[in-house]
Amino acid sequence: MAADEAPSKARLRLWLRLLKVTRKVEGRLRERLRTEFATTLPRFDVMSALNRHDQGLKMSELSGVLKVSNGNVTGIVDRLVEEGLVIRGAVEGDRRANLVRLTRKGHEHFAVQAREHEAWIDEMLADMPANESENLAHRLDALVQALEEPESKK
Amino acid sequence: MAADEAPSKARLRLWLRLLKVTRKVEGRLRERLRTEFATTLPRFDVMSALNRHDQGLKMSELSGVLKVSNGNVTGIVDRLVEEGLVIRGAVEGDRRANLVRLTRKGHEHFAVQAREHEAWIDEMLADMPANESENLAHRLDALVQALEEPESKK
DNA sequence: CACAAAAATTTTATGCTTGAAATATAGCGG
DNA sequence: CCGCTATATTTCAAGCATAAAATTTTTGTG
């Protein structure tokens, strides 16, 4: 084993594994959300973000939090508005922006979905002991940190 | 700390972290593939699968390997065929199916892309020592195993 | 052989996603 | 107040993704 070949391959394997787990879990969540609540993961994500920010979020803040494009959020919010789950309100003193918030109905729907969502995750990751979960989460967090600052080493 | 509340929350955190890391890395890969090779992640994935199976794969095998829907693969392969990177061949004795393979051009393109791809991953996960990568990969693999068999405990 | 069930694939409808272009408003320097 | 630059959002074109319906071919089974 070369002192140089191994690390790269090991990291590639790690990445492929990460991808596999994530896709698998995402797929299950997607299916459950569809069959049990007639909704989708992106919609759940948007509602989750709005639930954490009860004072509302601007479209750009929403796309920032979710790490998706601006135009993407427009479409998802449009549909949620049609169904009366969220509302677009005016921003005091800035007619360009608007503040998106959950409606009462949106809050109620989300509460139910979030409870189930947590249970599904718990079930899917059941083989993972709590302390090991924490451990893994920390390592992954370190990775996220490193990725956040691409070239801050100026 | 309740003996019951913690595990579920810890697992939820783990899941959210997994999602964050994966999306971040995926986003970077996507951008690189686009700017440097004018291609996309799904196309790369398809070519990667075909590269590992030089004798070719049927459409259904391809969607099985990649864990995406049948109809999805149809569209991606269509575009790769248009660009002369893959070909659809007949399957001996079954006119329903067809065998998808990389063309010579496809092989050449993929070789270049795969080399870069591995380097990008290596760079992004640089903070992760090789042995820790292996460790993590193994834990994740256990998770995948558990997820593969949903109710095999009949 | 006939014909129903199964298998391989494509088509269709709908929604997600992106990057880029377009639109509209804000805010600043002169 | 004019005009420029920046900010907030939407629109647009293209591709990705899924589930369900449709198509074509194969494979039993009587």
Most confident of A20-24, A106-110, B91-95, B141-145: A106-110
| CATH architecture of the domain with range A32-148 | Orthogonal Bundle (1.10)
Strand C closer than 7 A to residue B65 Cβ: no
3-state class of B108 per DSSP? helix
What pLDDT digit, counting tens, does each position of A31-40 carry?
999 999 999 9
Over 70: is that where the pLDDT of A151 sits?
no
Nucleotides on chain C that have an atom closer than 7 A to a protein CB are: 7-13, 15-21, 24-27
Of all protein residues, which has its CA closest to the C1' atom of C12? B71
Decide if A126 and B141 are in contact by the 8 Å CB cutoff. Answer: no
Q: What does R_g of chain B's alpha carbons equal in angstroms?
A: 19
Q: What stretch of H or E contains A154?
A: none
Q: Are B14 and A136 in contact (CB under 8 A)?
A: yes
Q: At what angle do helices B70-82 and B59-66 cross, to 10 degrees?
A: 110
Domain chopping of chain A, boundaries: 32-148
The H-assigned helical ranges of A1-103 are: 5-37, 41-52, 59-66, 70-82
Interface contact flag, B134 A15, Cβ < 8 Å: no
Q: What is the pLDDT along chain B (154 residues), one digit of tens a residue?
A: 445 556 678 889 899 988 888 988 998 899 899 999 999 999 999 999 999 999 999 999 999 999 899 999 999 999 999 999 999 999 998 999 999 999 999 999 999 999 999 999 999 888 888 888 888 888 888 888 888 764 433 3
Residues of A in contact with B11 (CB under 8 A): 121-122, 125, 128, 130, 133
Contact state of B130 with A7 under an 8 Å Cβ cutoff: yes
